[in-house]
Structure 1
Amino acid sequence: MTETTPVAELLFGEADATPFSTDEATVKPWDEARACLESAPKAWLSTVWPDGRAHAVPVLLVWAGDAPWITTRPTSRKARNLAVNPHCVITVAGETLDLVVEGNATRARDEDELRRVAAAFGTKYEWELAVRDGSVHEDGLPGSPEYGFYRVTPTRAFGYGADGRTATRWRFG
């Protein structure tokens, strides 16, 4: 899958009567948002319970290939929510940009992809994970617990500048 550059635009216009800047020069490039995602020590993942209630929890996040990835145990609430409804939101707070990324999460099953993402988690978090039989395990813990890797494909994202006055929207596809 090849990465495409999303359309970047001001989130608000002059007609919106907001305190946010309407200066086109304040639109942030997606590369800046991606760097914020890549460097974030953690992110918040929001999913939806089957009955429609919201669920939010901190998660580890890496950028591998052309997308952000999160991991969780397959029996966790967030994994069960994603199995029913893949729509999710990732939020991160960076030094110069706060992000809200809306997207769809898909669990990886391909062993080559699992190895690539496990290597990214290993590099970023010094977390040793083993891939075997289409699953990811942490052999250093009793019972060698299983983890699932979820690729989040962004559909729309919002970035808010540290100044509290700038906002960018990115539209994908």
Structure 2
Amino acid sequence: MTPTPIAEPLFRPEDAVPMSTDEADVLAWPVAAEQLATLAKYWLATGRASGRPHVMPVMGVWLGSTLTVSSRPGTVKGRNLLRDGRCVVTATTELGDLVLEGDAGRVTDVARQREAAAAFVAKYDWRFGLRDGRAYDDSLPGSPEYAFFEIVPVKGFGYGPDGLTATRWRF
């Protein structure tokens, strides 16, 4: 079981004006995580080998304390994650804007692939065929290969819709 991250105001009193430094405004991680789990789309930022950023929308599922996204391994985001798993995921929820810095790795464990595939069916009705340790979308011509990437959050930020509240989570 993953421990709940430390949640704290993002700003100190001396640099917060006009941001809130009231502990009562801190967004609890379980509340933010619940909001994130229900979203249909996330924005994934990765880094190219040249250092230039690359941002694309992705679909993803929460498996415990990690976000699992799917991508074809030959896409820019897939190649970026295979080369360097450091990434950022952003999303907008009813509670405001959320930013998660994380480390991604390709899911190669067959049991974990099955778990991810089942979660994609439950959330999106997107079915993957799993063969020889790889995922395929058999509904598309040629059954293209997909990869599951599991993103482990390292640090997170939540910005309230009022524009005056901000939370940092340290995992």
Same fold (TM over 0.5): yes
- Name 1:9's counterpart in structure 2: 8
Aligned counterparts of 2:79 and 2:95: Cα–Cα separation in 1: 33
What displacement does 1:18 show?
Answer: 2.7
Aligned counterparts of 1:97 and 1:63: Cα–Cα separation in 2: 19
Contact 2:65 2:152 in 1 (8 A): no
1:153 maps to amino acid = V
Contact 2:8 2:167 in 1 (8 A): yes
Aligned counterparts of 1:42 and 1:64: Cα–Cα separation in 2: 16
What displacement does 1:11 show?
Answer: 0.2
Aligned counterparts of 2:3 and 2:147: Cα–Cα separation in 1: 25
What displacement does 1:146 show?
Answer: 0.8
2:68 maps to amino acid = W
- Name 2:124's counterpart in structure 1: 125
Aligned counterparts of 1:139 and 1:171: Cα–Cα separation in 2: 39
- Name 1:157's counterpart in structure 2: 156
Contact 2:99 2:158 in 1 (8 A): yes
Contact 1:111 1:132 in 2 (8 A): no
What displacement does 1:66 show?
Answer: 2.5
Contact 1:36 1:97 in 2 (8 A): no
Structure 2 unaligned regions, length at least 5: none
- Structure 1 segments, 4+ long, off by >3 Å, are none
2:19 maps to amino acid = F
Q: Secondary structure at the match of 2:142?
A: coil
Q: Secondary structure at the match of 1:21?
A: coil
Contact 1:55 1:78 in 2 (8 A): yes
Contact 2:114 2:130 in 1 (8 A): yes
- Name 1:110's counterpart in structure 2: 109
Structure 1 unaligned regions, length at least 5: none
TM (norm. structure 2) is 0.97
- Name 1:45's counterpart in structure 2: 44
Aligned counterparts of 1:19 and 1:135: Cα–Cα separation in 2: 50
- Name 1:33's counterpart in structure 2: 32
TM (norm. structure 1) is 0.96
- Name 2:91's counterpart in structure 1: 92
Q: Secondary structure at the match of 1:124?
A: helix
- RMSD of the TM alignment (CA)? 0.9
Contact 1:37 1:68 in 2 (8 A): no
Q: How many residues align?
A: 171
- Name 1:61's counterpart in structure 2: 60
- Name 1:74's counterpart in structure 2: 73
What displacement does 1:29 show?
Answer: 0.7
What displacement does 1:83 show?
Answer: 1.6
